[in-house]
Chains A and B, each alone.
Chain A
């Protein structure tokens, strides 16, 4: 964290070439996009390791900041080092002190970046038909995913939804990246008036979709998974759970997920996610520890 110390760009001793890096990054640009901010940060080494669905955890403020916890953002785009250093791009909604601090950065400001973190989206081995569903700025990781899918001769049909046009992210870019684009807004300011799950059943049927990828609020992921499962499609969801560390040590970002052994466990969304098979997440039980979860036979502590 301290600029100029050996901390910068220190890579793992055990897993050189793999795993996350901690990089003393430099802001390259901050651009306003609708209600969001598009940050490009020079952070060498991260691009080469990033796969769609990975995220970065950014520190907020300087070495004496009163906001200690890192903020997690799914990675929108990366560019490997060329003439300039490698960059990582994220989309920020400035709704709290940390995100507002990030949104008010200027070119050459320092931001400490840890990443890439988490498990990425699983990619199909066959050239299948895919739907990519994004809510608000949750669409950010879907563009890199669409690119990877099309490299594998998969189709990538995008559905982007938000409450208003200003909260849609990437609708124009989607036209370039995707096989087809469907837009929904709750207020009807653009596209279909409604939510992403309104046009989804028709889209899944028309294109005979095999895999549905989604990223956005929990309620949306739950609804998308339900539609996908009804259609018989495989669901991959990238969750947004509040995190303190992002690297797997704090145990705050847990949610109930069913394992292959059919046992529900409280698993960390930062290292075992953020991408989960949608049908394995106990959406109905988020915010609780459902009965029968591994480790609940012991009397629990009372506040």
Chain B
């Protein structure tokens, strides 16, 4: 094995029909629509910018407190506050395209009709690299049960999006780890037409305030994210990669460094998303790209794609 320098490493990534310069993206909800982070680094350097989930209508979100720091992580309960799709398409998406970013637009619906409408409006906008379907939302047509927690409902949401998204724009389904079998949900949404998977969304958690003796978050429960959940995310990527070989997977959950990102590639992810660590280090996505490059080089991986799923090989170390 000849010594590689970080500059030699080929980071180009193919995810279904999306071709990216590198496998590092922002995670939805941790980078808004890119503008704030552009103060710290050029967002066009990222593989993609995954925008905060947009809904059809403007949404005020939940009352405060909306977050609690937890060991190596945090709980959030934002409630999908956002401007709605019309303002997003008028203001946020054009900004990303003008700044040469690769936008992956996360959409969230509260009914199948809303998912379909969002898919049409986003999917038909030129320049969108892919759609990410946030199915961790309550379905108002099904007594508020969360789409992601039931393989059948998850598949219906994804099918609604895929049917109304133009061919050539890949659709990625973001799955919740709060299920009995994530492989079962993964199979269902792939069957429904997803082009790939994003693993994982936050885990449902709670923090009780010892002063008020009540749940701290305004919404009661919140989504747990950060390094605390990384082993859960790596496990989910591993299980799904083993069960569904060849399915493009984007790994997300607690990535803080390039080494963490490499762990996801080895487990079977072709790309990764950097989320909560942005709150700690707004330059983190850019730093993770540089660190991943070095971490691949030192292990002799000339291409990031060579590392994808490497941990599944029966003889570790042989290439």
| B282 and A250 within 8 A (CB) | no
In chain A, what residue has the closest Cβ to B76? A252
Which chain B residues lie closer than 8 Å to A296 at the CB level? 60
In chain A, what residue has the closest Cβ to B34? A249
| A300 and B62 within 8 A (CB) | yes
Q: Does B65 contact A (CB under 8 A)?
A: yes
Which chain A residues lie closer than 8 Å to B79 at the CB level? 300-301
- Docked complex Cα distance between A251 and B278 (Å): 13
| A245 and B42 within 8 A (CB) | no
Interface code A14-51, partner B: CB below 8 Å = 1, 0 otherwise?
11000110100000000000000000000000000000
- Our pick among B55, B63, B277 for the contact of A287 (Cβ within 8 Å) is B63
| A251 and B81 within 8 A (CB) | yes
| A250 and B61 within 8 A (CB) | no
- Which of A2-10, A118-126, A226-234 lies at the interface? A2-10
Q: How many B residues face the partner with a CB closer than 8 A?
A: 64
| B78 and A69 within 8 A (CB) | no
- Docked complex Cα distance between A14 and B99 (Å): 9
| B67 and A244 within 8 A (CB) | yes
In chain A, what residue has the closest Cβ to B38? A14
| A59 and B39 within 8 A (CB) | no
For window 248-303 of A, CB contacts with B under 8 Å fall at: 248-255, 265-266, 271, 286-289, 293-303
For window 216-255 of A, CB contacts with B under 8 Å fall at: 241-242, 244-245, 247-255
- Docked complex Cα distance between A298 and B227 (Å): 33
- Docked complex Cα distance between A297 and B29 (Å): 22
Q: Does A70 contact B (CB under 8 A)?
A: yes
Which chain B residues lie closer than 8 Å to A251 at the CB level? 29, 32, 52, 61, 66, 78, 81
| A266 and B41 within 8 A (CB) | no
- Docked complex Cα distance between A254 and B66 (Å): 9
| B58 and A294 within 8 A (CB) | yes
| B38 and A68 within 8 A (CB) | no
Task: Given A1-B281, A66-B71, A68-B73, verify A22-B62 contact (CB < 8 Å).
Answer: no
- Our pick among B42, B60, B137 for the contact of A293 (Cβ within 8 Å) is B60
- Our pick among A2, A10, A242, A249 for the contact of B41 (Cβ within 8 Å) is A10
Which chain A residues lie closer than 8 Å to B52 at the CB level? 251
Which chain B residues lie closer than 8 Å to A202 at the CB level? none
- Docked complex Cα distance between A69 and B63 (Å): 20
Known pairs A66-B72, A254-B66 / 18 extra A-B pairs, C-beta < 8 Å:
A2-B287, A10-B283, A68-B73, A69-B69, A98-B69, A112-B281, A114-B282, A247-B37, A248-B36, A250-B30, A251-B66, A252-B64, A255-B64, A289-B61, A295-B57, A296-B60, A300-B62, A302-B138
Binding site for A on B (CB under 8 A): 29-32, 36-42, 52, 55, 57-67, 69, 71-74, 76-82, 84, 99, 110, 137-138, 140, 144, 218-221, 226-227, 256-257, 276-284, 286-287, 290-291
